[in-house]
């Protein structure tokens, strides 16, 4: 090697070290900014009512995680909700105790590292400047900060999306990188089921990225026979690479499918939620947003129970988890076939809603958090989806000449968008699209600056026109009937009530009614709170007003019926419980309440059959087992009653009531009084 060659090697090494130092400084800066704003947000919100109570999905995940931490890691049912987030929470609880604050801080770290991964991916695909900008766009994105602070799986989904992009778009994928890409996709599918649709897309990317072209002549010095053999070996290598990708995904998903097979009889690699979710977003009359199943109570507390109860009631038999999903899917397709043009119009509506600047709510929306957080409010004035989308459109246009390197990025955005629009649109479902959009947006900003610097005004004007089209799409006027703040306040209120914080619950429900006057849902909830405070007059007014606005409001019928029983008016109460059974047939509590009224009216046999039906519909109901046991004991069926009291004791070991009933029956048996089986 010559002296000049030595010099070039030395200079190249110096440049490489300088580049690595620059990359490290960039990544550390992005990490510091992302962590700082998220930490400020947590400090700011730590005393807020919004952080002091878990509601919606958070409540369910916390309960599930506590069971896992206590050792119930296998469970007893097919997964209905994506399991990775509650299992992650369960692991954190096992290590640090059941402290939600620890989970939030770990999510802050994950969110900050997601920003670094996005920065590294953008730097690899575009430039150093684009990498820094992409990381900062995600670091300062209000919805990302919001989701990173929620007890909600969107944070984990965002991190896994960023990690998947980093692995999939690696410049020189080794076998380990390919396996990690597949595993990352599998983990993402256990957080957000629609990620499974990315698997064939990435497999095609792996096969085609460096596949030889059919028309390339053989290299100099090779024989005509050797060139096809070389091409054949190259294709075989690409197919092996795709196989490694699929193997990585299978290593994650196969154990879940095996577990679901054991518990439910069907190999389901993720969850059994496909049918109900598809029905929510595609039935006749759907809004394209989250709505409760018709005839159900809605919300994560009741969603699974509603789906199973309604499907089994219509089928007239017990159904497996896969059969429940299939029943809802068949019902959805029947609605689509009945009016295909209505469905096409619904798809178009969902496609437009997907790109709206606003963050569409299902349980809790960013708007109320923004009202109570200076961090979100300040950042949200200049940075949100209505800014990100036009910038990403500009980036897509200005980087089009690099499409061979970037087409996987385009495909990920497109496929995720289609998979969300096929079901229903919410902000947290859309959030998985934000990391790839941030990369494109960063590329757009860098190219816009270059065009301005070079005074290429014509190209600049065209790019800004593309951005204006994105802006128009983001702000296309779509009237929505629901006020996101009112929905969040309502969910917050009922969760506070569940924790017996009745005064705070009423305050939040009052605020919800200020935002949405005359909402029967909120009126019924406030009526329940006032009833528990023994303020029966105002409670009755709320329930009656709710029923004037919505005669089928289940919560109002239930609450008013209970008050009428308390006031000694069982026959008036019976009319409400009868109506409740009609509008909410899967509600076992309605049958128990109606049975109680029949019992007060001296109709023991009717009450017994109502209790029996309630227990059939909800075998795990402590109240149904106790009520049926007491009714059978009054009829002299001591043996059957004893079995039911023992069943109730097993369902709720800490409750003394079953033991009292069992001792009473044993005393009757000891006296030799006649019993019936």
Q: What is the pLDDT of residues 521-545, one digit of tens each?
A: 999 999 999 999 999 999 999 999 9
Is the C-alpha dihedral spanning 80, 84, 87, 93 positive or negative?
A: negative
Mean pLDDT score across all residues of the chain: 89
Tell me whether residue 281 is in a domain: no
Q: Are 436 and 164 within 8 A, CB to CB?
A: no
Q: Are 529 and 509 within 8 A, CB to CB?
A: yes
Q: What is the pLDDT of residues 485-510, one digit of tens each?
A: 999 999 999 999 999 999 999 999 99
Taking each continuous run of H as one helix and of E as one strand, the counts in the chain are 33, 0
Give the C-alpha separation, 588 to 627, whole Å.
12
Tell me whether residue 600 is in a domain: no
Angle, CA of 547, 553 and 555, to the nearest 5°: 105
Q: What is the pLDDT of residues 158-179, one digit of tens each?
A: 999 999 999 999 877 789 999 9
Burial class of residue 171 (count of CB atoms within 10 Å of its CB; 0-12, 13-18, 19+): exposed
Tell me whether residue 118 is in a domain: yes
Tell me whether residue 249 is in a domain: yes
Tokens describing residue 461: 């004007």
Give the C-alpha separation, 616 to 614, whole Å.
5
Q: Are 181 and 248 within 8 A, CB to CB?
A: yes
Tell me whether residue 344 is in a domain: no
Residue reference for tokens 């009292």? 660
The helix, strand and coil proportions of the chain, stated in percent and rounded to the nearest 5, come to 75, 0, 25
Tell me whether residue 93 is in a domain: yes
Position 564 scores a pLDDT of 92
Q: What is the mean pLDDT of residues 574-587?
A: 83
Lowest-confidence region among 136-145, 309-318, 387-396, 422-431: 309-318
Distance of CA 630 to the CA centre of its chain: 41
Q: Are 553 and 521 within 8 A, CB to CB?
A: yes
- Rounded to a whole number of angstroms, the distance between the first and last alpha carbons of the chain is 100
Structural domain range at position 461: 8-212+232-270+359-474
What angle separates helix 154-168 from helix 175-189, to the nearest 10 degrees? 160
- One DSSP character per residue, 343-409 reads HHHHHHHHHHHHT-SS---SS--HHHHHHT-HHHHHHHTT-SHHHHHHHHHHHHHHTGGGHHHHHHH
Tokens describing residue 282: 């595609």
Residue 389 confidence (pLDDT) above 80: yes
Tokens describing residue 205: 């990317």
Q: What is the mean pLDDT of residues 219-225?
A: 50
Tell me whether residue 426 is in a domain: yes
Q: Are 155 and 431 within 8 A, CB to CB?
A: no
Position 482 scores a pLDDT of 77
Number of domains composing the chain: 1
Residue 214 confidence (pLDDT) above 70: no
Position 57 scores a pLDDT of 87
The percent of residues above 90 in pLDDT, for the chain, comes to 66
Alpha-carbon Rg of the chain, whole angstroms? 30
Q: What is the mean pLDDT of residues 615-619?
A: 83
Tell me whether residue 404 is in a domain: yes
Band of residue 302 on the pLDDT scale cut at 50, 70, 90: confident
Q: Are 631 and 611 within 8 A, CB to CB?
A: yes
Q: Are 144 and 448 within 8 A, CB to CB?
A: no
Residue reference for tokens 């909800």? 618
Q: Are 537 and 527 within 8 A, CB to CB?
A: no
Q: Can you give the pTM of this predicted structure?
A: 0.88
Distance of CA 500 to the CA centre of its chain: 27
Give the C-alpha separation, 443 to 431, whole Å.
19
Residue predicted with more confidence, 217 or 128: 128
Q: What is the pLDDT of residues 148-158, one digit of tens each?
A: 999 999 999 99
Is the C-alpha dihedral spanning 394, 396, 401, 405 positive or negative?
A: positive
Lowest-confidence region among 451-460, 461-470, 611-620: 611-620
Distance of CA 278 to the CA centre of its chain: 14
């Amino acid at each position: 090697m010559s002296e000049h060659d030595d010099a070039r090697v030395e200079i190249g090494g110096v440049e490489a070290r300088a580049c690595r130092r620059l990359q490290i400084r960039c990544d550390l800066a992005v990490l510091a900014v992302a962590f700082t704003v998220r930490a400020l947000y947590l400090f700011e919100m730590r005393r807020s009512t919004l952080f002091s109570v878990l509601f919606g999905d958070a409540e369910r995940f916390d309960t599930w995680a506590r069971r896992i931490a206590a050792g119930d890691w296998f469970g007893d049912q097919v997964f209905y909700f994506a399991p990775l987030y509650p299992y992650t929470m369960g692991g954190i609880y096992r290590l640090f105790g059941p402290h939600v604050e620890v989970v939030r801080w770990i999510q802050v770290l994950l969110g900050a590292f997601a920003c670094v991964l996005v920065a590294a991916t953008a730097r690899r695909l575009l430039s150093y400047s684009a990498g820094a900008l992409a990381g900062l766009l995600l670091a300062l994105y209000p919805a990302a900060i919001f989701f990173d602070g929620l007890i909600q799986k969107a944070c984990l989904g965002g991190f896994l999306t960023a990690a998947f992009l980093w692995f999939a778009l690696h410049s020189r994928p080794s076998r380990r990188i390919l396996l990690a890409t597949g595993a990352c996709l599998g983990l993402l599918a256990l957080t957000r089921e629609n990620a499974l649709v990315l698997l064939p897309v990435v497999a095609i990317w792996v096969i085609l990225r460096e596949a030889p072209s059919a028309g390339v002549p053989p290299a100099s010095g090779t024989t005509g026979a050797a060139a096809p053999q070389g091409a054949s070996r190259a294709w075989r290598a690409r197919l092996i690479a795709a196989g490694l990708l699929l193997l990585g995904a299978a290593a994650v998903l196969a154990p879940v499918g095996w577990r679901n097979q054991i518990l439910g009889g069907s190999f389901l690699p993720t969850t059994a939620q496909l049918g109900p979710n598809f029905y929510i977003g595609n039935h006749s009359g759907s809004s394209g947003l989250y709505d409760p199943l018709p005839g159900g109570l809605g919300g994560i507390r009741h969603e699974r129970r509603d789906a199973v109860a309604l499907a089994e009631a219509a089928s007239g038999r017990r159904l497996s988890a896969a059969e429940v999903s299939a029943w809802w899917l068949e019902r959805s397709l029947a609605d689509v076939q009945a009016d295909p043009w209505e469905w096409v119009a619904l798809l178009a509506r969902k496609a437009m809603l997907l790109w709206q600047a606003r963050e569409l709510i299902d349980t809790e929306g960013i708007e109320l958090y923004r009202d109570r957080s200076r961090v979100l409010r300040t950042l949200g004035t200049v940075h949100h989806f209505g800014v990100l989308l036009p910038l990403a459109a500009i980036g897509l246009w200005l980087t089009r000449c690099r499409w061979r390197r970037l087409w996987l990025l385009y495909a990920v955005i497109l496929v995720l968008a289609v998979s969300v629009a096929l079901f229903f649109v919410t902000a947290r479902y859309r959030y998985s699209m934000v990391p790839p959009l941030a990369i494109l947006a960063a590329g757009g900003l860098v190219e816009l600056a270059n065009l301005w610097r070079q005074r290429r005004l014509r190209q600049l004007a065209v790019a800004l026109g593309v951005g204006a089209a994105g802006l128009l799409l983001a702000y296309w006027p779509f009237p929505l009937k629901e006020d996101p703040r009112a929905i969040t306040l309502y969910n917050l209120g009922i969760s506070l009530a569940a924790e017996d914080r009745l005064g705070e619950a009423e305050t939040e429900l009052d605020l919800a009614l200020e935002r949405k006057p005359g909402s029967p849902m909120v009126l019924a909830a406030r009526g329940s709170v006032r009833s528990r405070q023994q303020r029966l007059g105002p409670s009755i007014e709320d329930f009656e007003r709710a029923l004037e606005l919505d005669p089928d409001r289940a919560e109002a019928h239930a609450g008013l019926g209970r008050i009428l029983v308390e006031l000694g008016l069982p026959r008036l109460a019976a009319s409400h419980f009868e109506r409740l059974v009609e509008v909410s047939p899967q509600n076992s509590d309605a049958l128990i309440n109606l049975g109680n009224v029949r019992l007060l009216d001296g109709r023991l046999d009717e009450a017994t059959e109502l209790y029996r039906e309630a227990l059939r519909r909800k075998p795990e109901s402590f109240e149904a087992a106790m009520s049926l046991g007491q009714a059978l004991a009054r009829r002299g069926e001591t043996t059957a009653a004893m079995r039911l009291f023992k069943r109730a004791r097993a369902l709720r070991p800490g409750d003394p009531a079953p033991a009292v009933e069992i001792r009473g029956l044993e005393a009757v048996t000891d006296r030799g009084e006649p019993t019936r089986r």
